[in-house]
Amino acid sequence: MKELIWLIPLLPLVGFLINGLGQKILPKSLIGIIGSGVVLVSFLISCVLFGEVRAWRDAGESGAYMHQLFDWISVGNFKLSFSFLLDPLSSLMLLIVTGIGFLIHVYSYGYMLHDEGFGKFFSYLNLFIFFMLLLVLGSNYLIMFIGWEGVGLCSYLLIGFWYKNSDYSSAAKKAFVMNRIGDLGFLIAVFAIIATFGSLEFAEVFPKAAQFPMGDAALLLITLMLFVAATGKSAQLPLFTWLPDAMAGPTPVSALIHAATMVTAGIYMIARSNILFTLSPVTMQVITVVGIATALLAAFIAITQNDIKKVLAYSTVSQLGYMFLGLGVGAFTGAFFHVLTHAFFKALLFLGAGSVIHAMSNEQDMRMMGGLKKNLPVTYITMLIGTVAIAGIPPLSGFFSKDEILAHAFFASPVFWVLGFIGALCTAFYMFRLLSMTFFGKFRGTEEQKHHLHESPWQMTFPLIVLAVLSAVGGLLNVPEALGGGHWLGEFLSPVFADTNAVATPFHLSHSTEYILMAVSTVGAVGMAIFALNKYGRLTSTNEVAEPSFLYKLSYHKFYIDELYDTLVVKPLDALSIVFYKVFDRGGIDRLVNAVGEFFVLSGRGIRQIQNGHVGFYIFMMVIGIVAIMLYGFLHV
Amino acid sequence: MTAFYFVAFLSIFFALMTIFTKNPVHSVLYLVITFFTFTVHYIMLNAQFLAVVNFIVYMGAIMVLFLFVLMLLNLNKDTEPMKSNLVKIMGAVAGMCLLATFLGAFRVIELDNGFVTGNSDVGLVKNLGKVLFDEFLLPFELSSILLLTAMVGAILLAKKETKEA
Amino acid sequence: MDHIIQHIQGIPLNHYLIFCSIIFAIGVVGVLIRRNVIIIMMSIELMLNSVNLLLAAFSAYRGDASGQVFVFFVMALAAAEVAVGLAIVIMVYRNTKSVDLESLSKLRW
């Protein structure tokens, strides 16, 4: 069965081609079936492969399998093959991408059914799945980079899906440009890897890297550049501003690309290259600081946002910051665990938000909602589960993953733990604020909206229920030892991080310390949840606060970061380009080009006299020419 | 041996007469004679098929075509347009330059000064047919299309124009 | 026939080259000094024929039939060319009442 690995990315590509080419001809139901079906088949294959990897792991092997498709580049002694790598890490990512991808395809069928770009939407989604699978499966950095670029492209296409709205298309452009900055980092890293190791294959680079001393300069460059790439794709400081704007896309896109899969590509990439990062402590510190700063900043912003999707977007940024914090303190398993659980509950929350928006006739402002509990029971219950999960209240999944990261952070430095804890409090607060503003209290929308309220069709509620179940029980994958768990995920992934474990300081906390940490964070989260429920549960007017404080304004205006970038980067660039336009383009290049043109016009006017229309003259010239050519030829033999 | 030089002399002489005679009809007749000497050359090379084809196609068909057109247009010495002397001299000088270049080129490239033996059998109809219909079958078929095209084209061009719309 | 072959055996290849070049040059001169389009076409035929003869000579020299096949194709081409060319001449004459090359000076900017 493992030989069929190439089918996993191929099927979505086929789906993309069929749906893309047939979007005008095929009926909507068929497009939906093809689009979801290919992903479902990929998911089933992924399940089987995951089973095989598990069996290998149980048998005590490393569980890695390379599938070489063909030699791609072969120059001198530099060889690059188009090959896929199946190992515990990628098999889990496969499950996330295809599994959640399938659910979101099903959801999209209900959500987008009345959109005229239905076929286009499904083909883009399939293309996205294809590139994401390339990214996950690639056995070297270049294939990963292809997927990396490809998902960026799909993200651009889907954010700007309703391209007729110029705000949306500029949001798409913003996302694309921000991603490009990161991609440049990735490219530089790839070049540096070639220069340092002479290869891009993971299987060759990592063993070689393991021989390097701690803090090697080449590794520092590579890892810093890879991290720049990750900040772009995974929306970290200072490149995170594109993610909230990316909410312009249809909600299923936000759930799939901007919550569950693409934005976690950076974490996946760093977890994949864990040995490089472990050997560069400076980069690890940078990652930790950036991660925690992003987590806190985004959490603060999320507290005051009123757009339901914006809250979730900032929440995503904040959770990604947590994952980077985990990576930075060496909790690779924990970070990946959080990727996994976050994919469940954030996809759930986005899809739930989509369901709400659908019911509210595209109203996204939470101040206009309220009291939807009665009308949307399934959405309410599933979103409640998601909210509890993300807030880190046991025994739902978010608690376990967040706890593991926080425990590692505490082990690295208690300061990190405190900061992370504050972030977790904010998370609990803004998520319950969202829940209570949406579902509790009195309905604040218009009469028309109230009349229109309805539960979503089964295509939309089914994924919600599945994801709710996963969010609830996902944490059981990796129950820490302190709670009597087997740390199954850590064991399963251990061959991927084997090199790192050999180098890094082993993680150790006494059980009593862990209990205290868990208790504190649980009590904090529950307290914040109750506080938020009290504060916003009985909201009656659409005006949230009478007198906005300074901090409130700061948070509401997203710390003025967009404005800051505008002043620091955009305006100077604008001015510079105007100068270039006037001085170099108009004055230099244009004049040069015009001079060339005029030269040919004038010389043409002169030479045209020879073209006098007398055939005899032409023949005469031809003979002269032949003589000249022959003379030239024989004089220069 | 001397036959070649004699016939070659005749060819050159009649070729010169062709281009220098004022009357176009005479020109055509001299050209016919020139082509006849060429036929003799082909026979001497033992290229019998070419000799026959040259005789029929060139001297028969093409030359008759020329004559026919001349008569159709009723051209004779009086209507013959003449170039100025300067142009004539220039043309002659250019032609001689070309010839000189050719001859110089032959000296430079130094062919092996072999002899042309006219005793090979390649020019016989049988041998030529084998090559033509085997190795050169596709060009042969293409040339039939070319001739057909030329035929259609010629008819289309020479046809009296019907009333223009 | 054998008699003639005996006679021809002494001709060097060079002499064929020179002879054909002369005929070719005469054709070129004819094109240059005459203004009658029909004579010019005849000069072109002269040039084609000189090349034909040279091809046949090389063919005999190397004992390779391809040269003669080429001659055959050149003849087919010449026939086509003359047919179309003369048709054009008739057209031109019909329009300008002249076969003067100089009357065809419309081919210009």
d(CA A196, CA A84): 23
Of A181, A95, A79, A89, the residue nearest A140 (C-alpha): A79
Is A612 close to C108, i.e. CB distance below 8 A? Answer: yes
Closest to A336 in 3D by CA, of A551, A631, A90: A90
Contact A379, A461 (CB under 8 A): yes
Q: How many residues does chain B have?
A: 165
Domain boundaries, chain A: 1-139, 140-556, 563-635
Q: How many CB atoms lie within 10 A of CB B42?
A: 25
Alpha helices by DSSP H, B21-58: 24-44, 48-53
Count of residues making up chain C:
109
Cα A239 from Cα A221, distance rounded (Å): 19
- Mutation site for A-interface testing, chosen from B19, B86, B88, B97 by largest number of A Cβ within 10 Å: B97
Whether residue A401 contacts residue A340, with contact meaning beta carbons closer than 8 Å, is answered with: yes
Q: What are A335-347's pLDDT values in tens digits?
A: 888 888 888 888 8
pLDDT of residue B82: 64
Model confidence over A285-299: pLDDT tens digits? 999 999 999 998 888
Question: What span, in angstroms and rounded, lies between the C-alpha atoms of C81 and A187?
Answer: 62
Question: How far is C7 from chain A, CA to nearest CA, in Å?
Answer: 34
Out of C14, C43, C90, closest to residue B113 by CB: C14
The shortest C-alpha distance from A607 to chain B (Å) reads: 22
Share of chain A residues as helix, strand and coil, in percent rounded to the nearest 5: 75, 5, 20
Half-sphere exposure of B162 (CA within 13 A, CB side): 2
Amino acid, res. A567: T
Rg value, chain C, Cα: 18
Report CB contact under 8 Å: B139, C73: yes
What's the pLDDT at B3? 83
The answer to whether the CB atoms of B102 and A630 lie below 8 A apart is: yes
CATH code for the domain defined by B2-115: 1.20.120.1200
What sign does the dihedral A345-A350-A354-A357 (CA atoms) show?
Answer: positive
Asked if the bond preceding A27 is cis, omega within 30° of 0, the reply is no
Those residues with Cβ within 8 angstroms of residue A627's Cβ, 6 or more apart along the chain or in another chain: B94, B97, B98, B101
* DSSP per-residue string spanning A71-89: EEEEETTEEEEEEEEESHH
**ipTM of the shown complex:** 0.86
CA distances to A78, A336, A461 from A458, in Å: 53, 31, 5
Query: Is residue A114 exposed (0-12), middle (13-18) or buried (19+ Cβ within 10 Å)?
Result: exposed
Q: Give the 3-state secondary structure of residue A318.
A: helix
In angstroms, the CA C100 to CA A429 distance is 100
- The answer to whether the CB atoms of B19 and C14 lie below 8 A apart is no
End-to-end CA distance of chain C: 58
Are C101 and A615 within 8 A, CB to CB? yes
Higher-scoring residue by pLDDT: A401, A394? A401
> Which residues make Cβ contacts (< 8 Å) with residue C2, sequence separation at least 6?
none
Tens digit of each residue's pLDDT (9 = 90 or more) over A423-465: 888 888 888 888 888 888 777 777 777 777 777 788 888 888 8
Nearest chain C residue to B52, by CA: C72
- Show which subunits contact C, needing at least 3 CB pairs below 8 angstroms: A, B
Taking CB atoms and an 8 Å limit, are B98 and A623 in contact across chains?
A: yes
Residues belonging to chain A with any Cβ–Cβ distance to chain C shorter than 8 Å: 608, 611-616, 619-620, 623
Radius of gyration of chain A (CA): 29
C97 touches chain A (CB under 8 A): no
Nearest in space to C49 (alpha carbons), one of C27, C29, C82: C27
Q: Comparing C-alpha atoms, which of B63, B55, B57, B60 is closest to residue B39?
A: B55
One digit per residue, pLDDT tens: chain B, 165 residues? 688 889 999 999 999 999 888 888 888 889 999 999 999 999 888 888 889 988 888 888 888 888 888 888 876 666 666 667 787 888 888 888 888 888 888 877 766 667 776 666 777 888 888 888 888 999 999 999 999 999 998 888 877 766 554
Question: Under a CB-based contact definition with an 8 Å cutoff, are residues A194 and A78 in contact?
Answer: yes
Point out the residue among C33, C61, C83 whose CB comes nearest to the CB of B91.
C33
Whole-structure pTM over 0.90, yes or no? no
Give me the percent of chain C exceeding a pLDDT of 90: 23
A158-199 confidence digits (pLDDT tens) = 888 888 888 888 888 888 888 888 899 999 999 999 888 888
Question: Which residues on A lie below 8 Å from B86 (Cβ)?
Answer: none
Answer yes or no: are the C-beta atoms of A111 and A89 closer than 8 Å. Answer: no
Please judge whether B90 and A631 are an interchain contact, meaning their C-beta atoms are less than 8 angstroms apart: no
CB neighbour burial string for A238-259, b if at least 16 within 10 angstroms, e if fewer: ebbbbbbbbbbbbbbbbbbbbb
Which residue in A601, A614, A627 has the most chain C C-beta atoms within 10 A of its own C-beta, making it the best mutation to test that interface?
A614
C36: closest chain A residue by CA: A616
Q: Cβ contacts of residue B96 below 8 Å, gap of 6+?
A: C25, C29
Q: Which two tokens stand for residue A273?
A: 């290259």
* pLDDT tens-digit map of A399-432: 888 888 888 888 888 888 888 888 888 888 888 8
Cα nearest neighbour of A609 on chain C: C109
Average pLDDT, chain A: 85
| In chain B, where the domains are located | 2-115
Its sign, for the CA torsion A609, A611, A613, A616, is: positive
d(C-alpha A474, C-alpha A472), whole Å: 6
Taking residue A586's Cβ as centre, other Cβ atoms within 10 Å add up to: 11
C-alpha distances in angstroms, A34 versus A164, A244, B44?
27, 31, 79
Selecting from B87, B91, B98 the residue whose C-beta is nearest the C-beta of A627 gives B98
From residue A489, how far is each of A260, A300, A332, A477 by CA, in Å? 19, 31, 11, 6
Instruction: List, for residues A567-616, the tens digit of each pLDDT value.
Output: 888 888 888 888 888 888 888 888 899 999 999 999 988 888 877 777 77
Cβ distance of B90 and A623 shorter than 8 Å: no
CATH class, C2-104 region: mainly alpha
With H, G, I as helix, E, B as strand and everything else as coil, classify residue B27: helix
Alpha-carbon gap: C84 to the closest alpha carbon of chain B (Å): 5
Q: What are the chain C neighbours of B75 within 8 Å (beta carbons)?
A: 36, 38, 99
Integer angstrom CA distances of residue A406 from A483, A513, A615: 15, 12, 92
Q: Dump pLDDT digits (tens) for A500-548.
A: 777 777 777 777 888 888 888 888 888 888 888 887 776 666 555 556 6
pLDDT at C7 over 50: no
Instruction: In whole angstroms, give the CA distance from residue A193 to residue A195.
Output: 5
With contact defined as beta carbons under 8 Å apart, do B60 and C20 qualify?
no
Q: Does B64 touch chain C (CB under 8 A)?
A: no
Shortest Cα–Cα distance, B38 to chain A (Å): 25
Among B94, B105, B108, select the one facing A620 at the smallest CB separation: B94
Residue B59 DSSP label:
I
By C-alpha distance, the chain A residue nearest B91 is A620
Residue matched to tokens 């862990």: A514
Other C-beta atoms closer than 10 Å to the C-beta of A596 total 10
Residue pair A86/A69 in contact (Cβ under 8 Å)? The answer is: no
Averaged pLDDT for residues A551-563: 73
Q: In terms of pLDDT, which residue wins out, A279 or B107? A: A279
Query: Reduced to 3 states, what is the DSSP secondary structure of residue A70?
Result: strand
